[in-house]
């Protein structure tokens, strides 16, 4: 998996952003009909902006549906338009191409989701050895301005899969929208409160739905669910923490065979945006079933739901079946 290739040389990025910053100063942070322009880096950030901003914002997502967000390449047009944003919502460290452009955009109101809640390095123990469950998404460690961390030291960026952490990010987005557009601050606060209540209800649904289970451990090809697992007392085991499509080593296969037996693992999970080949091969070798556990990095017609809440409810159902929850 290639994470965040920048399409343009940085000198070109700087020139385009400088040009757009001049346009921004002239007042182009709003659409012709007066809505605040908001740019979101990928779907989970876009969903928050749309839910909280409602009809008073025009939200542009940088990552198109069906595209792996880590592989995003910015076009010259996207870089130029970024500087016209009234608000930018992103998660620093996930998409280096976006980070570079935002740093030079000159936009005043920027929400970095990674700064609103603690990021952690998630790992598991197999046969006495530490296996990091975070994949090769560039992490934001203590020094957020430093280079991307490797899979052993990097922080897991998938905070949106924990409804409680996602609610904290939602509150930050609401505050920033209000600061950028004070005339509609009351509406943004109202919409934020409504969204947080829905996320609270989702948290309760997960906690209640997974309480009575026969196993705590689930197996996935994409190490994206560390925060969700931590929130509800589960154990995520990744086939290999780096690439959801890569073949596991012979040693890892032996470890997984023992783990599947000892921890009563029934299912190998895969995601919708990558091939299910590794999951099906592994499941066949281990005598397990396969199912989808969606990291919700984008919504497509293959998604098991039309938005964040729909897919999360499908994830809960899949986990209940895999863990023997009643």
| Segment 40-76, tens digit of pLDDT | 999 999 999 999 999 999 999 999 988 888 888 899 9
Residue 73, exposed/middle/buried by CB under 10 A (0-12, 13-18, 19+)?
middle
* Contact indicator for 31, 10 with CB cutoff of 8 Å: no
Which tokens in the block code for residue 101?
A: 């452009």
Measured CA angle at 311 (ends 310, 313), to 5 deg? 65
The whole-model pTM stands at: 0.82
Per-residue pLDDT at 140 exceeds 70: no
Integer Cα distance of 282 and 271 in angstroms: 15
Closest CA to 92 of 25, 32, 138: 138
Residues 6 or more apart whose CB falls under 8 angstroms from that of 310 comprise 303, 304
DSSP states of 110-127 as a string?
A: EEEGGGTS--B--EEEET
Which tokens in the block code for residue 45?
A: 């950030």
Q: What are phi and psi of 111, to 5 degrees?
A: -105, 115
Length of the chain in terms of residues written? 326
* Contact indicator for 58, 38 with CB cutoff of 8 Å: yes
**289-325 confidence digits (pLDDT tens):** 999 999 999 999 999 999 999 999 999 999 999 999 9
Integer Cα distance of 222 and 270 in angstroms: 7
**144-199 confidence digits (pLDDT tens):** 333 333 333 478 999 999 999 999 999 999 999 999 999 999 999 999 999 999 99
* Contact indicator for 60, 90 with CB cutoff of 8 Å: no
**92-114 confidence digits (pLDDT tens):** 999 999 999 999 999 999 999 99
């Amino acid at each position: 998996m290639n994470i965040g290739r920048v399409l343009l040389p940085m000198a070109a990025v700087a020139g385009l952003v400088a040009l757009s910053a001049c346009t921004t100063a002239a007042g182009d942070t709003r659409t012709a009909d007066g809505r605040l322009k908001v740019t979101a880096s990928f779907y989970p950030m876009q969903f928050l902006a749309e839910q909280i901003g409602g009809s008073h914002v025009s939200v542009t997502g940088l990552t198109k549906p069906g595209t792996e967000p880590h592989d995003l390449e910015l076009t010259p047009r996207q870089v130029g338009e970024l500087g016209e944003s009234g608000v930018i919502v992103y998660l620093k460290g996930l998409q280096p191409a976006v980070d570079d452009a935002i740093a030079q955009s000159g936009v005043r109101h920027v929400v970095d989701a990674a700064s609103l809640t603690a990021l952690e390095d998630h790992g598991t123990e197999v046969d006495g050895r530490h296996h990091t469950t975070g994949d090769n998404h560039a992490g934001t460690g203590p020094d957020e301005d430093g280079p991307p961390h490797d899979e052993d030291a990097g922080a897991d960026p998938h905070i949106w899969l924990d409804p409680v952490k996602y609610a904290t990010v939602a509150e930050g987005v609401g505050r920033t929208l209000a600061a950028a557009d004070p005339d509609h601050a009351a509406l943004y606060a109202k919409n934020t409160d409504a969204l947080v209540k829905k996320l609270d209800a989702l948290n309760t649904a997960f906690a209640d739905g997974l309480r009575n289970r026969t196993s705590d451990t689930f197996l996935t090809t994409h190490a994206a669910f560390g925060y969700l697992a931590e929130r509800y007392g589960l154990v995520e085991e990744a086939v290999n923490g780096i690439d959801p499509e890569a073949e596991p080593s012979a040693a890892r296969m032996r470890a997984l065979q023992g783990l599947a037996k000892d921890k009563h693992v029934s299912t190998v999970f895969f995601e919708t945006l990558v091939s299910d080949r590794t999951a099906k091969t592994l499941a066949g070798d281990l005598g397990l079933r396969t199912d989808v556990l969606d990291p919700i990095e984008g919504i497509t017609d293959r998604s098991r739901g039309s938005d964040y809440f729909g897919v999360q409810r499908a994830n809960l159902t899949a986990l209940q079946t895999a863990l023997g929850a009643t």
